[in-house]
């Protein structure tokens, strides 16, 4: 019966009805095709865990995905760490293993999976990824709000000092300086991955640093908290993520069209206070030259670009 089952599974996989996530683990092909890229990545992480003889400790983008740190690009590999001194840094069947840093704390455990804790995960991302991809995760670690599934019996909020303590464990100054540069610009007031990525583009291209989420009021009361404020230039910036007009936690019972109307009224009140408002979308930060053009056309000066 078991042999027949394996033959049947092989036949279904060959016909395209099943998709092989990992060796021995399959999903209906239609279900797999319906998943978003980040969902496919999360399923693959789970499959690696299920097939491992010893529960792996996930790291880098894999740890970030599990715990809810933003990752801008879905990687093609699963990342894990092994105890110092064991064979690390090798890739096999889509899994990249590296030696854990001596002195790092015990792994976090979420949903039955083990992973490097947030400060160490953000450090490792900053060490390996471009500035634009590292800053969003570092911003989120510094946000004064626990990650959605953070353990209840341990540290849930983190500071710059927590990240610096993890950086101090790196073996050489070049590595430490690379992470410190990301931490230098990180800001826990950033409201989303898109806002963090926007700010990374600004930093790399020499734009003045904005204030984040500053409260604005007028005679009618609170207007809101614009994403970016360049007070010297009377310029406000707003990143319009798709979720703002689609996800229920942002809509709060309103229709997308009602949210658009409210945004327009809010913007009119800001303009009445003498501010210019510039808005951009995901496609404008995926193509940084578009955001650069929007900001310069709005009157924001460019200085020397950051070398990272």
What pLDDT does 242 receive?
A: 57
Structural domain ending residue among the three candidates 186, 219, 238: 186
C-alpha gyration radius of the chain = 22
Helix axes 160-167, 131-142, angle to 10 degrees: 130
CB 160 within 8 Å of CB 183:
yes
* Alpha-carbon separation of residue 15 from 5, 20, 21 (angstroms): 15, 12, 15
Shared-domain flag, residues 168 and 205 = no
What pLDDT does 89 receive?
A: 53
Shared-domain flag, residues 148 and 211 = no
Shared-domain flag, residues 65 and 92 = yes
Of 11, 37, 13, the residue nearest 25 (C-alpha): 13
What pLDDT does 102 receive?
A: 94
Question: In terms of residue numbers, what domain contains 64?
Answer: 35-186
Shared-domain flag, residues 152 and 55 = yes
Shared-domain flag, residues 173 and 217 = no
Could you tell me if residue 84 is inside a domain? yes
CB 80 within 8 Å of CB 99:
no
For residue 142, what are its two tokens?
């510094």
Could you tell me if residue 280 is inside a domain? yes
Longest CA–CA separation in the chain, Å: 76
Could you tell me if residue 302 is inside a domain? no
CB 209 within 8 Å of CB 190:
no
Shared-domain flag, residues 284 and 207 = yes
Count how many domains the chain has: 3
Shared-domain flag, residues 74 and 7 = no
Structural domain ending residue among the three candidates 165, 186, 207: 186
Could you tell me if residue 100 is inside a domain? yes
In the block, tokens 């953000």 appear at 122
Shared-domain flag, residues 177 and 279 = no
Could you tell me if residue 307 is inside a domain? no
Could you give phi then psi for residue 80, rounded to 5 degrees?
A: -135, 165
Print pLDDT tens along the chain (308 aa). Answer: 344 477 787 777 778 788 888 888 888 999 999 999 999 999 999 999 999 999 999 999 999 999 999 999 999 999 999 987 665 556 677 999 999 999 999 999 998 999 999 999 999 999 999 999 999 999 999 999 988 877 776 678 999 999 999 999 999 999 999 999 999 999 999 999 999 999 999 999 999 999 999 999 999 999 999 999 999 999 999 998 755 544 444 445 556 666 677 888 899 999 999 999 999 999 999 999 999 999 999 999 998 877 76
DSSP symbols for 274-298: T-EEEEE-HHHHHSHHHHHHHHHHT
Could you tell me if residue 28 is inside a domain? yes
What is the pTM for the complete model shown?
Answer: 0.88
Helix axes 288-297, 193-204, angle to 10 degrees: 70
- Determine the number of helices (DSSP H) and then strands (DSSP E) in the chain: 13, 14
Shared-domain flag, residues 216 and 234 = yes
């Amino acid at each position: 019966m078991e042999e027949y089952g394996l033959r049947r599974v092989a036949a279904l996989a060959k016909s395209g009805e099943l998709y092989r996530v990992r060796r021995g683990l399959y999903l209906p092909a239609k279900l797999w095709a319906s998943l978003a890229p980040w969902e496919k990545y999360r399923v693959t992480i789970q499959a690696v865990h299920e097939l491992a003889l010893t529960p792996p400790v996930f790291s880098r983008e894999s740890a970030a995905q599990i715990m809810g740190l933003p990752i801008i690009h879905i990687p093609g590999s699963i990342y894990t760490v092994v105890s110092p001194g064991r064979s690390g840094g090798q890739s096999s069947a889509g899994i990249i293993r590296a030696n854990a840093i001596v002195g790092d704390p015990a792994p976090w455990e979420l949903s039955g999976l083990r992973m490097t804790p947030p400060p160490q995960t953000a450090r490792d991302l900053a060490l390996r990824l471009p500035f634009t991809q590292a800053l969003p995760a570092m911003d989120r670690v510094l946000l004064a709000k626990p990650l959605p599934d953070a353990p209840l019996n341990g540290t849930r909020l983190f500071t710059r000092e927590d990240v610096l303590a993890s950086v101090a464990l790196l073996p050489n100054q070049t590595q430490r300086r690379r992470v410190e540069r990301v931490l230098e610009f990180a800001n826990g007031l950033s409201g989303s991955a898109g806002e963090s990525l926007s700010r990374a583009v600004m930093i790399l291209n020499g734009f003045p640093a904005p204030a984040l989420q500053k409260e604005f009021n007028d005679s009618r009361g609170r207007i809101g908290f614009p994403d970016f404020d360049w007070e010297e230039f009377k310029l406000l910036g707003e990143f319009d993520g798709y979720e703002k007009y689609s996800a229920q936690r942002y809509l709060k019972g309103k229709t997308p069209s009602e949210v658009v109307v409210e945004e327009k009224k809010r913007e009119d009140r800001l303009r009445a206070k003498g501010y210019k408002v510039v808005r951009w979308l995901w496609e404008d930060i995926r193509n940084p030259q578009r955001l650069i053009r929007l900001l310069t056309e709005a009157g924001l000066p460019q200085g020397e670009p950051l070398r990272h």
